Amino acid sequence: MTLPVFPSLRISADALTPQGSFAEAQAAFLRPDPERVATLTKLLREKNAGVVAHFYMDPELQGVLSACDWPHIYVSDSLAMADRAIAMADQGVSTIAVLGVDFMSENVRAMLDASGYEHIPVYRVATDPIGCSLAESAEAPAYGAYLMKAAETPRSLHVIYINTSLVTKAKAHAIVPTITCTSSNVVQTVLQAAAQIPGVHIWFGPDTYMGDNLAHMFEALAKLPDAQIRQLHRAHDQSSIRSLLPRFHYFEQGTCIVHHMFGREVVQLVREHYPDVFVTAHLEVPGEMFALALDAQQHGNGVVGSTSNILAFVLGKVDQAIARGEQSNLRFILGTEAGMITPIVRQVQEKLRDYASEGGPEITAEIIFPVASEAIAQDARSELAVVPGVAGGEGCSTAGGCATCPYMKMNSLRALISLLERVDVEPGSNLVPFEPRKYVQEIRGRTAADLGGEPILHMRAFQRSGELPEALVQDVLSRTRAPARSQS
**How high is the mean pLDDT of the chain?**
82
pLDDT for 207 equals 82
Rank 38-52, 118-132, 432-446 by mean pLDDT and report only the highest.
38-52
135 falls in which pLDDT band (50, 70, 90)? low
What is the rounded CA–CA span in Å between residue 466 and residue 192?
A: 8
pLDDT for 407 equals 61
236 falls in which pLDDT band (50, 70, 90)? very high
Residue 486 lies in a domain: no
Environment class of 69 (CB within 10 Å of its CB; exposed 0-12, middle 13-18, buried 19+): exposed
Residues 6 or more apart whose CB falls under 8 angstroms from that of 445 comprise none
What is the rounded CA–CA span in Å between residue 427 and residue 10?
A: 47
Three-class SS of residue 431?
A: helix
Q: State mean pLDDT over 324-352.
A: 86
Closest CA to 241 of 208, 216, 213: 216
Residue 488 lies in a domain: no
pLDDT for 172 equals 94
HSE (CB half, 13 Å, CA atoms) of 223?
A: 4
Whether 245 and 171 share a structural domain = yes
Whether 291 and 269 share a structural domain = yes
Whether 165 and 112 share a structural domain = no
Residue 1 lies in a domain: no
Whether 239 and 278 share a structural domain = no
Whether 263 and 380 share a structural domain = yes
Residues 6 or more apart whose CB falls under 8 angstroms from that of 18 comprise 7, 8, 9, 10, 24, 26, 27
> Taking the mean position of all CA atoms in its chain, how far away is CA 289?
17
Residue 484 lies in a domain: no
End-to-end CA distance of the chain: 61
Number of neighbours of residue 444 by Cβ within 10 angstroms: 12
Residue 87 lies in a domain: yes
Residues 6 or more apart whose CB falls under 8 angstroms from that of 438 comprise 449
> pLDDT tens for residues 420-434?
999 988 877 789 989
Whether 172 and 279 share a structural domain = no
pLDDT over 70 (residue 378): no
Residue 313 lies in a domain: yes
> Taking the mean position of all CA atoms in its chain, how far away is CA 175?
26
Whether 403 and 419 share a structural domain = no
Core vs surface per residue 410-422: b (16+ CB within 10 A) or e: bbbbebbbebbee
Three-class SS of residue 439?
A: coil
One-letter identity of residue 156: S
pLDDT over 50 (residue 488): no
Q: Which residues pair with 249 in a beta bridge?
A: 203
Whether 116 and 213 share a structural domain = no
One-letter identity of residue 407: Y
What is the rounded CA–CA span in Å between residue 434 and residue 232?
A: 43
Residue 485 lies in a domain: no
Instruction: Tell me 429's DSSP state.
Output: G
Q: State mean pLDDT over 307-322.
A: 92
Residues 6 or more apart whose CB falls under 8 angstroms from that of 115 comprise 86, 89
Whether 109 and 219 share a structural domain = no
Number of domains in the chain: 3
Rank 39-43, 163-167, 263-267, 356-360 by mean pLDDT and report only the highest.
39-43
Q: State mean pLDDT over 235-263.
A: 79
Q: State mean pLDDT over 23-46.
A: 87
pLDDT over 60 (residue 395): no
Report the CATH number that the domain containing residue 194 is assigned in CATH: 3.40.50.10800
Contact 206, 250 (CB under 8 A): no
Closest CA to 388 of 10, 5, 18, 125: 18
Give the chain's length. Answer: 488
pLDDT for 365 equals 95
> pLDDT tens for residues 454-468?
999 999 999 999 999
Whether 218 and 266 share a structural domain = no
Q: What is the span of the domain harbouring residue 430?
A: 30-131+412-434
Whole-prediction pTM value?
A: 0.69
Q: State mean pLDDT over 52-68.
A: 82
Three-class SS of residue 329?
A: strand
Whether 37 and 93 share a structural domain = yes
Instruction: Tell me 282's DSSP state.
Output: E
pLDDT over 80 (residue 474): yes
Nearest 5°: the CA angle 86, 460, 298 is 115
pLDDT above 70 covers a percentage of the chain that reads: 83
Whether 381 and 263 share a structural domain = yes
Residue 289 lies in a domain: yes
Contact 12, 318 (CB under 8 A): no
